[in-house]
Every structure is written in C-alpha cells, then in structure tokens.
Amino acid sequence: MISKDTLLSNHLFGDLKPKDWPISIDDLPPGSALVGGSVRDGLLNKFSQKPDLDFVIPINAIKFSENLSKKISATFIKLDENRDIARLVIDGWTLDFARQVGKNLTEDLLRRDFRINAIALRLQEKPEIFDPTGGMDDLKSKKIVAISEKNLLDDPLRILRGFRLMCELDFKLEKRTKSFLKNNVDKLSNVAPERIKTEILKIAHSKWNSSVWQTYLELQLLKKWNDDTLSYFDLQRKDITSKELLLGCFLAKLICLLGDEGLSNLKFSKNEIKRCKNLRFWVHKIKNLGLDELSEDERFQLHIDLEEDLPSLILFLNEKYKDVWLERWKDPSDPLFHPSSPLDGHKLQKVFRIPPGPSLGELIRHLSKEKAYRRFFTDEDALDVARKWTLENAPFL
C-alpha cells in the first residue's frame, strides 16, 4: 500500500509540472532538493504558472549555475559569492541555486527562517517531501513559526519577511515568533535599503486581513522609516470589490507604512516619492479641514495632483463620496477629474503672442480650471476667456 506521505509527495511533484520547467530534473546533481516558496505554496494549492524555483544542491552552486546557463541559454546572475548562491533567468522563469549549508539537507533546513519555508521536496527517483521542523503542521494550523531567533538574526531581513508572510498568506504569528520580531526590530537598520524596499512592496501589494495593522502597530517594524501619523485605520473603505479601488490600495498602504523621508532613505524612485507625498498631503488636508471646505482652487489642484491616483484617495474618503467620485474618475471626459486645457500652448502663443514661460503656464492653468467648472463649452468660448485673461494680465506679460 502506498503511504499518505508518498501520495502527497507524488501529487505535489505532479502539480508543480516539472515537465514545464526550463531545466530537466536530470540536469540537477544527485541529492538536489526543491525548497522554499514553491514547495510551501504548492502544499497550500496556490500554484502559479511559472513559480520561482529554489534549489539546494550539494555541489558548488555558482559554478554549476554558470555551466547550466550556457546549456539552456539562460541569463546567469551571481547573487552571493560568500554563500554560494546564483540565479538563472529564462523565459519568465527564475531559478535560484544555493549550495547546501551543513553536512546534509537536515542541517540546511534547520538554518532557515520559518518552519513553513523549511520544507523540501527531494528530487530523486521517487520524489519525497522532507519536513524536519514541522512546517507542514504550521501550514495546516495557519501559523508562522520561526525555527530560532538566531536564524532570524543571521539575516535580519527575515524579521520583516515574517510580517510579509503573515500578510500574504493570512496566517497568524506564533507568540514566541512575534516576540522575536518585536525584540529585534532595530536590527533591520543593518539590512541594505534595497532589500527592505522589496519586502515592503510585497507587503503593500498583499491583501491584508483585519488583524494585520494591529500586529504592525504592535511590532513597530518600520518605525525608523515612518514619522507620519497616518494609520490604516484612517481608510474608510476596507471591503473593496472594484478593481480600481483594489489598485488604489497599494499606494494607500504605502503611505501608512512609510513617511516621505523613509521612502527616500529606502531608495524609492522620485516618481514614487512624489505620488506618495501628493496623496499624503491631500489625505491630511481633507482629514483636518473636510472635503466640503476645500476652495474651488484647492479642489482643482487636488485633481491635478492626484489624477492618476485618485482611487487611493477615495479609500480615505467618507462613504458618501465613494461611488460618485469613482464614477466621475472613470469618465475620461470629466473636465474636473481629468483636467486639461481646451487650447494647446502653441495656439495660445500664436494667437496672443505670449512667449513660452510662466505666464503661458498660468494661462493654460486658468483655461483648464474654467473648463473644469464648465464655464465655457466651445473653443470660441475658450478663446474669449483667454483674451480676457491676457488683457487683465497685459502689464505682466
């Protein structure tokens, strides 16, 4: 009779569709094993078309990967020379190869971060799930359990990764593990900013459950990079169904996780920082003043600043605005929610002999604003408005 473990191993191996991989199992040295996220997600029935494949091999991983890259025409990347880790990228696939740490696979897995990430699939004639730490029990009970505090401190990024896994998998942090994370938050300062940024992006893109923010506040994971008072609790919309608001969630979460200075210190791009700064400014202004108290000019500027990211702001607004604002934003012809000038700069220069510069910019803004509030409807009307503006501002042109 075939045991349950053998059946599960065979099912997992089959569901991972090794025939679709860009390498053959025969390309791997004897004693190789598949580990990490693909095994974990496979056991959770969360299969993706091209999962990232992490292999542990018992020989020099960098040299092996470089040779294999030539055989399959893949891009070779040396990830960590000291720890002997390399990556191959080919046709949308990412394959990481790491030399086995310790004398055997057990020693390797016992040095990993969390038990759910320390499950291996031995790639032998009869594939075999190998779980020396009890990670499969954690998958069943939906818990994230650290193998040891020392393992987390070996790479402090694992402190943030534990929270990220909680977000992505909708799992709970085991009590002792939560203490490990909380007691070592300061060690994150020793991690390269780019690596922290990668984890934060995954956190912001994940679907948070109701307890995520409470846990975040308890752990104070990113306090070094967040000097703002915004809270995820400020979001008025958490039961989100529309695809537009789901897309808006990313930026809304990001400004709750990081302040503007933190975004800069963690190497976010100038465009990402600008978008977050604009969203944060208007969330605070509306929170303090009230949306109905904004002046006409302020409301117009809001839509200039947040035309691309209005769904993120809508998440912070009172329920009564949500449907109306979303429908208007989805209409590209709405002149307030998508401000634009009825006349381009070249025509204005030609008709009114205004040179390029600040004055031309002010006129275009004036026309865009008048159009936004529907004070004219034709190009002839727009020319009349522009003519009046140039006469009033003639001494300054």
Q: What is the pLDDT of residues 324-351, one digit of tens each?
A: 999 999 999 999 999 999 999 999 999 9
Is the pLDDT at 3 greater than 60? The verdict is no
Of the pLDDT bands very low, low, confident and very high (cuts 50, 70, 90), residue 209 is confident
Percent share of the chain, pLDDT over 70: 96
Find the range with the poorest average confidence among 190-194, 231-235, 385-389.
Answer: 231-235
At position 82, the amino acid (one-letter code) is N
Of the pLDDT bands very low, low, confident and very high (cuts 50, 70, 90), residue 1 is very low
The pLDDT of residue 19? 95
Q: Provide Rg for the chain, Cα atoms.
A: 27
Q: What is the pLDDT of residues 44-87, one digit of tens each?
A: 999 889 999 999 999 999 999 999 999 999 999 999 999 999 99
In the chain the domains, ranked by start, together with CATH numbers, are: 1-141 (3.30.460.10), 142-225 (1.10.110.30), 345-396 (no CATH)
Instruction: Please spell the DSSP secondary structure of 274-306, one letter per residue.
Output: HHHHHHHHHHHHHHHH-GGG--HHHHHHHHHHT
Residue 113, SS3 per DSSP: coil
Written as six digits, the tokens of 271 are 């465009």
- Residue 263, CB-side half-sphere exposure with 13 Å CA sphere: 22
Q: What is the pLDDT of residues 240-297, one digit of tens each?
A: 666 887 788 999 999 999 999 999 999 999 999 999 999 999 999 999 999 999 999 9
pTM of the shown model:
0.88
For range 4-30, the mean pLDDT: 93
* Whole-angstrom distance, CA of residue 32 vs CA of residue 248: 42
Work out the number of other CB atoms within 10 angstroms of the CB of residue 170: 14
CA dihedral 141, 142, 148, 151 (to 10 degrees): 150
